[in-house]
Chain A
Amino acid sequence: MAESIRVDHAAHHDDHHGAHHGGHEMSFTEKYVFPLDHKMIAMQYMFTGMFMALIGGFFAYAFRWQIAFPGTEAPLWGQVSPAEYNSLVTNHGSIMIFWVAMPVLIAAFGNYLIPLMIGADDMVFPKINRLSYQIFLISAIVILSSFFVEGGAFGGAWTAYPPLSTKAEYSLTPLGSTLWITAVALEFVAFLLGGINFITTAMNSRAPGMKMWDIPMVVWMIVIASILFMLSVGPLLAGGIMMIFDQNLGTAFFNPDKGGDPILWQHLFWFFGHPEVYVVLLPAVGIVAEIITVFGRKKLFGYKTVLYTAIGTGVLSFTVWAHHQFIAGIDPRMANVFTVTTLLISVPIAEMMFVYIATLYGGSITLSTPMLWALSFIFEFLIGGITGIFLGASGNDIFMHDTYFVLAHFHYTFYPIAIIGTYAGFTYWFPKMFGRMMNEKLGKLHFWLTIIPFNTIFLPLFVLGAAGHHRRIFDYRNFPELSHPWMWDLQALATYSLIVMLLAQIIFFYNVITSWISGPKAPKNPWNANTFEWTATSPPPHGNWPEGLPTCYRGPYEYSHPDRKGSDFWPQNEPG
């Protein structure tokens, strides 16, 4: 049985025996609950991530209400207590990074796009892929369950610095802090399994003819991001194990009373934490590369330059971590070194942005919804990058540390990555994923109602931060000499903008659901794009190309090629 199935399909995998390629009808459980199909696993990751984003967004609303209107009850939440405030802030950060940005950008887009874009019928290890999602789902349940245990959810910030995080008498969350670190560790295991799959698939399962320089940029970016993740996560896993021991077994790795060192955790955390920024950034810039070439009808300006800058960024990202610790008591000479490396890392990223602008220059640009998201990514991320240069300089950082300026800076990087990048990719590949076209009018309305409030949330926070407003203060009424009326006005503006932005997401979900049900049927290639996924039917069936896998004849970005007569695109699979 298994043998005959293996012969029927072109791609075979070392670790499974073709059982999921069977011709029999799959039950609901096989197809949707425990799927082996990379596209279905991608959808599981995508919708779990979006669900977690709603929770993370709601947390942001609750604590933003407390910041702007302390002492009043937040509608739908109630009065925010100091302990609740801490756990809301902590879990907003943790969820948005580990349970939204990572699963959606790497796991969902990686799972969906890698086999389709390199011309494979599935991942090389489909069962490991399924296991990866299951572990991720358990980790999501663990982090959410921490809100319902005695003492409440962990409130020691997403960085979890000891001794606050290791001693229950300080954190007051004896169970919550252990559940938090357990959830994070499980989540890492899930992405470790996913990353192994992504890299192995992209290296070993490419369609015949697809050379290294023919791989679409988003696949490269997810591969590089996975390598960065795998190189950086080990030390933090070690730190996580040590923290669980400290919390529950009475060891003293991070406890200075008994010979430990709390600063060590910071090093372990940020050795992972900084590359992590690039782990989620790279897939987003890869998505943007796909979109700007398709809607600019131009070849990507400097394919290899983008690739090399991504690798350069990855290498440099391992040398910048201590810029998070400038005031943690590290040697000032070491701070100087890390200032230099931090400022250096803006060079490859800036180069990448210049390449994108050069790609757009002279193109015939269509301002469709995905293109609007892609263009806004470049614009908003530049603001985040440029404000990072201020913070990378250690002298300036001593003043700016822990102010709203820092907060606004990293939201100007993470928001374009996790939210704008996701919307760009989701609206671009929606016709492929669901076989229907999205409503452009609603898409653009949603775009503007998300982008404008986003800027009116975080631009005021730059001003507040530069004026010295401190991000850890629960209730600024207790510091009347530090808070002027104009500061309260800007905080209220940010909170009102957040509410508008959250409400605007209803438009998105309405658009997704109605388009999915009754949108116009999508053709195979609605955007006239070159890459392989647009040669499969929309949505692609199990196995992606039942009639046989495609063959690659050229690079992915041959738009408006002078040798091509009669059309401005040249699909990768067309001979000639």
Chain B
Amino acid sequence: MRTTSPPIRLIAAEHGEPKVISNGVLGMLLFVLTEIMLFAGMISVFNIVRASSVVWPPPNQPRLPIEETAVNTLALLASGLCFYLAQRRFAVSRPSARLPLTLALVLGSFFVLFQGYEWISMIARGLTLTSSTLGSFFYLIVGMHALHVIVALGMLVQTWRRHAQGWLHPSQLATTGVFWYFVVGAWPIIYWRVYW
């Protein structure tokens, strides 16, 4: 069992040529590139369907909760901001990153729970996966994003745990950050293109 952070030696750094981006961050950036295209595909398909339908929104369907979700959007954005603060504090003194990291985790969890509550109320008002194309796309896109937030929260928990144990490496924090900024950054676009 390791208790301290292993020394990470970068190949190029050994020869005096420091790597610009660490392996973990570069790999995660490439993964996020694919994810961006995945969401771009879904959102543009939804917008094409919406633009080409004769009646929109589909009849007998509830409107999407724009106001409540605005609050939730702010919660997620605040969580991204907390993560950014955690990264800045981590660079100065490692233990001081604890509070913003915890806040990011709490706000992110709030986002998912609030969204689950919203889904339950939408289903009660007659918007289901098969009730209309609006429902299908709503649950597809928002659900796919929620899945990503849950995975990202898992990474955040892992990061938080490593930080609490004192062997969090900066590149691990940065790798989690890339994915977390992605789920945070994707949400306002989804909110704008799907809810409005």
Contact = CB atoms under 8 A, between A and B. Distances in A.
Contacts of B40: 234-235
B52 interface: yes
Contacts, number: 131
B24 interface: yes
A502 interface: no
Contacts of A199: 26, 30
Contacts of A192: 31, 34
B45 A238 contact: yes
Nearest to B14: A10
A235 B15 contact: no
A238 B133 contact: no
A477 interface: no
A258 B128 CA distance: 14
B171 interface: yes
Contacts of B10: 12, 204
Interface stretch (A140-148, A241-249, A309-317, A349-357): A241-249
Interface residues of A, number: 51
A6 B6 CA distance: 10
A241 B145 CA distance: 14
B136 A17 contact: no
Interface in A348-388: none
Contacts of B39: 234, 238
A208 B17 CA distance: 8
A196 B30 contact: yes
Nearest to B44: A235
Interface string B47-79: 011001100001000000000000000000000
A14 B27 CA distance: 11
Contacts of B130: 249-252
B42 interface: yes
B37 A259 contact: no
Contact of B6 (A2, A128, A236): A2
Interface in B106-127: none
B26 A230 contact: no
A14 B23 contact: yes
- CB-based closest 10 A-B pairs: A234-B37, A235-B41, A234-B38, A238-B41, A259-B133, A208-B15, A251-B136, A14-B23, A238-B42, A250-B130
Given A204-B11, A250-B129, 12 more contacts: A11-B11, A200-B30, A205-B11, A230-B37, A234-B39, A234-B40, A237-B41, A238-B42, A251-B129, A251-B130, A251-B140, A253-B45
15 contacts: A6-B7, A15-B24, A120-B11, A204-B21, A204-B23, A208-B15, A233-B34, A234-B37, A234-B38, A234-B41, A235-B37, A235-B41, A238-B41, A238-B45, A241-B144
